Structure 1
Amino acid sequence: MDKDTVYRKLAELGLERIEYSERAMYKLNLVDEATQATYPLILTTHTCDQGDTIVKFEEVDFGYGDAIPRSVRKAALDKLFELEQLFFSDTRRKGLEGVQSGTMAPNEQEMRKLGNEMKRMKTNTELMDEDIVPDPIQY
């Protein structure tokens, strides 16, 4: 996606560009309703040589050293899900044409193996309890 489109979409969602060169940093201030404290959520984009701009979801961070309240982490996660939908909804819609259903586990043994792996995975809530922001991008 070109950098002007990325900038416009992020601005529409309330993010303010705070730095720009090959990469741009965007800030969204999230407010803890209980304390009225403000926590800046920082999002980075990178413009490639070909001109496309990539949102670096893996580099999202709070520009704050102290513990982030759960309500603020949840608001950040909700915003990241919203961003993910905004940037990847067209790509997914196009990419699903011709996809075969049921190819993740071709047989019962593989299905049981995947089920056991998923049992050990932590939920988003468990990750947030450990002060980890879950990855919003799921394919």
Structure 2
Amino acid sequence: MASNRAKKLLHKSTVLQAEMLEELQALVKSIERAETLLTELKQDTEEMNAKHQHRRTTREDIAYLEELLKCAKKKLAWEKQMEGVAKRTPEVLAKVSAAMNDATNPPEPPVRVAVLDLLQTVQGAMGRLDAAKAD
């Protein structure tokens, strides 16, 4: 009976580890999407400012303001994306910590390596995102 219970705990632990890896990968993708969106936003803003640098008429002012509104909407989408990342990150890291510190069913070495790689990817992406925000 005890071995059946141990098998169930092992299975549950394996499922939790797989879910943790999936969530960590999703977090990486979300951060990378936010980084891409921020880069596009900066590029669009620079192009818009260069294009409308010498406005002389009201029509040109309106065209500039319409493009500025598009950039503002894109920035709002980026901010929402960042809020989601900020909200999800602690939850995902708590799952990672719980799975990695499981004394009864610790993750296998390949899982540990995958988690380490993903955490390094998160760290690198966050660094690039912070650098992009600072520019």
Higher helix share: 2
| Higher strand residue share | 1
Higher RCO structure (Cα 8 Å, ≥6 apart): 2
TM-score (norm 2): 0.29
In our comparison, the structure showing a higher alpha carbon Rg is: 2
TM-score, normalised to structure 1, is 0.28
